[in-house]
Amino acid sequence: MDEILNIKTKFEIKTTEEKPAGAVALKIVSEAQNPFLKKAGDLFFSQGDDGVVVTFYTGETFNSDTYRSLGGKIAAWIKATLPTSVFWEYDPTIAEQEVSNLIEGLLLGSFEFDQYKKVKEIPNSSTLFLDTAFSELLAQRKIVCDAVNMARHWAHEPACLINPQTLSERIEILAKAYGLKCTVLDDLQLREMGAGAIIAVGQGSKTPSRMIIVEYEGQKKEKPVVLVGKAITFDSGGYSIKPSDSMVSMKYDKCGAMAVLGVMRAAAELRFEKPIVGIICAAENMLSQNSYRPDDIIHSLSGQTIEVISTDAEGRLVLCDGLTYAQQKYDPQAIIDLATLTGGCVVAYGHVRAGVLCNQTELFDQLYASGEKTWERVWRLPHDEDYAELLKGTDADLKNSGGRWGSPVTGGMFLKQFVKDTIPWAHIDIAGVSDLEKGTAYSAPGATGFGIRLILDWLQKN
Please state, in angstroms and rounded to a whole number, the distance separating the CA atoms of residues 458 and 256: 17
Task: Produce one character per residue of 154-186: b if its CB has 16 or more CB atoms within 10 Å, e if not.
Answer: bbbbebeebbbbbbbebbbebbebbebebebbe
Please state, in angstroms and rounded to a whole number, the distance separating the CA atoms of residues 109 and 111: 5
- 120 catalytic? Reply is no
Cβ of 142: how many Cβ atoms within 10 Å?
A: 16
Please state, in angstroms and rounded to a whole number, the distance separating the CA atoms of residues 353 and 365: 15
**What values do phi and psi take at 235, rounded to 5?**
-125, 105
Binding residues: 230, 235, 253, 312, 314
Task: Give just the sign of the alpha carbon dihedral 55, 56, 60, 63.
Answer: negative
For residue 451, is it left (φ>0), alpha (ψ between -120 and 50) or beta?
A: left
Catalytic residue among 316, 373, 416, 453: 316
Q: Where does 309-451 have alpha helices with state H? A: 315-329, 343-349, 361-374, 385-389, 407-416
Asked if residues 190 and 209 have their Cβ atoms less than 8 Å apart, the reply is yes
- 242 catalytic? Reply is yes
Task: Produce one character per residue of 336-364: b if its CB has 16 or more CB atoms within 10 Å, e if not.
Answer: bbbbbbbbbbbebbeeebbbbbbbeeebb
Task: Produce one character per residue of 96-132: b if its CB has 16 or more CB atoms within 10 Å, e if not.
Answer: eebbbbbbbbbbbbbbbbeeeeeeeeeeeebbbbbbe
Catalytic residue among 27, 79, 242, 380: 242
183 has which bridge partners? 213
Asked if residues 296 and 308 have their Cβ atoms less than 8 Å apart, the reply is yes
Please state, in angstroms and rounded to a whole number, the distance separating the CA atoms of residues 124 and 143: 25
Binding residues for Mn(2+): 230, 235, 253, 312, 314
Give me the count of residues in the chain: 462
Residues identified as active-site:
242, 316
